[in-house]
Amino acid sequence: MEIKISLKEYPLEAVYLAITTLSDRMSVRILKQDKENIVLEIKAKINDKEIRENLDEVFTNELIHHTLRYKITENNKDLREKNCYSSFIFSPKQKQ
């Protein structure tokens, strides 16, 4: 089964994370990739009827999940860096 994914909607990092997460249940091969799209060939590895019938749905759900996580991570990057910086600045000195 082939799936065409728009890289304008889904970051490439999220596509790779979805592929990695599903690698135990599906084999995924990149057929084509350019700046705007990526085309994947997906095959089920296991004999689960539900997964075989809904390969595109299972992959798309995982892709949406990782896209959301990626966007949240990017949005919170500055806040996490400030928190780490503050924890080093304001932490009490350790006795030696």
| Residue 6 within a domain | yes
Q: Residue 25 belongs to what domain range?
A: 2-89
Question: For residue 76, what is the domain's CATH number?
Answer: 3.30.310
The predicted-structure confidence for 40-94, as pLDDT tens digits, reads as follows 999 988 787 777 788 889 999 999 999 999 999 888 888 878 888 777 777 777 7
d(C-alpha 86, C-alpha 35), whole Å: 38
Q: pTM of the full predicted structure?
A: 0.75
Percent of the chain with pLDDT over 90: 55
Structure tokens at 26: 């599906």
Confidence of residue 96 (pLDDT cuts 50, 70, 90): low
Secondary element (H or E) of residue 42: strand 37-44
| Residue 19 within a domain | yes
Q: How many domains is the chain built from?
A: 1
Question: Measuring CA to CA, which residue among 37, 36, 38 is closest to residue 19?
Answer: 38
What residues form DSSP beta bridges with 30? 40
| Residue 94 within a domain | no
| Residue 96 within a domain | no
